[in-house]
Structure 1
Amino acid sequence: MAHRRSNQQRNRWVVSLLDVQPTDRVLEIGFGPGVAISELAGRATRGQVYGIDHSEVMVQQASRRNAAAINAHRVELVHASVDQLPNFDDPLDAVLAVNSVGFWPDPVERLGRLRRLLRPGGRIALVTQPRSPGATRDTTARAAQELQDLLTQAGFTKIRAEILDLDPPVAGVLADNPTDGPS
């Protein structure tokens, strides 16, 4: 997966959309082989990058790929699921999930938990690249709308979708944690 050109393009693209700053604290859920973790660590050079993945094999692969950043204590990877989010001492600036929301039990509730972990004005990016046979731009558009609806239900604001023209197209849905009001 990590060597597939489309996966590398998709991960670089979404990290650029998330606008990660040097001091940001970022969480990726379902990091797989760690391609986006590496991109995030390259941007959050004075911040902290966290990752959780339910697969021990992916934790091992991503740990090898990101060994230098882990040794420098800038990246922390944990074997866990979205149901078992670790405790973060301070609020996060950004959250990323690529092709994983569809596997989450009760995604609106999970997104609400993630929203509470984000600082006011923090950002989230949910990415989907439908891989079903015959997937088209319309398939991607429908998947993007589903992600937008979930984010709306979870209380996120300023929701927008971006499309990366791969085959099939990739949708990146970005949103902000509101800066005021109840969390």
Structure 2
Amino acid sequence: MVRQFGHPRGVAGRVVGQVLAHRRSNRQRNRWAVSLLDVRPADRVLEIGFGPGVAIAELAGRATRGHVYGVDHSEAMVRLARRRNAAAVRAHRVHLAQASVDRLPDFGEPFDAILAVNSLGFWPDPVERLRRLRDLLRPAGRIALVSQPRCPGATRDTTARAARELQDLLAQAGFTRFRVETLDLEPPVACVLADNPAAPE
């Protein structure tokens, strides 16, 4: 069952999806992360690893004239997220695909913001993946990486270390203007925000 949280599939994967969708701390963490991204009505936004689609719904509620895209490697999560966001999917404002972060589809135009909540730990070669995501952002576009450590005995110090690691990965990938925010859950949640550097004049 623990493995299902990394790649939910089948009946057990649907159970995991329901747990993630209804656990109060998960909903709170996702809504908080979205609030930090400062999504505007006309923005194009991408979420990597959207799970049951809680943050997708929050993003769609803010990008009311824009478009929200999401990729998740779990077919079970794609089905759950499409159900949760059915009206926005029908209106062609939300676009969800089964894909992995190392095999992203073509999204067309650049994004204004990118979000990943508790998924980077499953990415192969995260620095290279972050470089690719930076290529998908417009100049001065925003990224938010969220981590709530789930290892046994995780503390505030564990969260602080996770935030430093995320910031280091983002720096290696060429992002700048870092900001770290913390949500006081048990254990605390860290969100590291950064910008894609503006193109030189």
Same fold, TM exceeding 0.5?
A: yes
1:72 to 2:91 alignment: yes
Task: Indicate the residue corresponding to 1:151 in structure 2.
Answer: 170
Aligned match of 1:141: 160
Q: Secondary structure at the match of 2:105?
A: coil
- TM-score, normalised to structure 2, is 0.89
Distance 2:108 2:102 in 1: 18
* Aligned position for 2:45: 26
* Amino acid in the other structure paired with 2:182: I
TM-score between both structures, scaled by the size of structure 1: 0.98
Equivalent residue for 1:46? 65
Runs (5+) with no aligned partner, structure 2: 1-19
State the alpha-carbon separation in 2 of the partners of residues 105 and 131 from structure 1.
19
Q: Which residue of 1 aligns with 2:21?
A: 2
SS of 1:49 mapped into structure 2: strand
Q: 1:130 aligns with which of 135, 149, 168?
A: 149
Describe the superposition over 1:30-81 as per-residue Cα deviations: whole angstroms up to 9, x where unpaired: 0000000000000000000000000000000000000000000000000000
Amino acid of the residue matched to residue 128 of structure 2?
Answer: E
SS of the aligned residue for 2:102 comes to helix
Alignment of 1:104-119 (within 5 A): 104-119=123-138
The amino acid of 1:110's aligned partner reads R
What SS class does the counterpart of residue 141 from structure 1 fall into?
helix
How far off its partner does 1:86 sit? 1.1
Partner of 2:140: 121
For 2:175, give the aligned amino acid.
Answer: F
Q: Sequence identity, in percent?
A: 78
Match of 1:178 in 2: 197
1:89 Cα offset (Å) = 1.3
Structure 1: tracts of 5 or more residues without a match? none
Among residues 30, 37, 49, which one is paired with 1:11 in the alignment? Answer: 30
Alignment match, 2:8: none
CA–CA separation in structure 2 for the residues paired with 1:102 and 1:161:
18
What corresponds to 1:166 in structure 2? 185
Deviation at 1:180, TM superposition (A): 2.5
Aligned residues: 182
Secondary structure at the counterpart of residue 60 of structure 2? helix
Query: RMSD of aligned C-alpha atoms?
Result: 1.0
| CA deviation profile, 1:83-133 (whole Å, cap 9, x unmatched) | 111111111000000001111110000000000000000000000000111
User: Which of 63, 66, 69 is the aligned partner of 2:82?
Assistant: 63
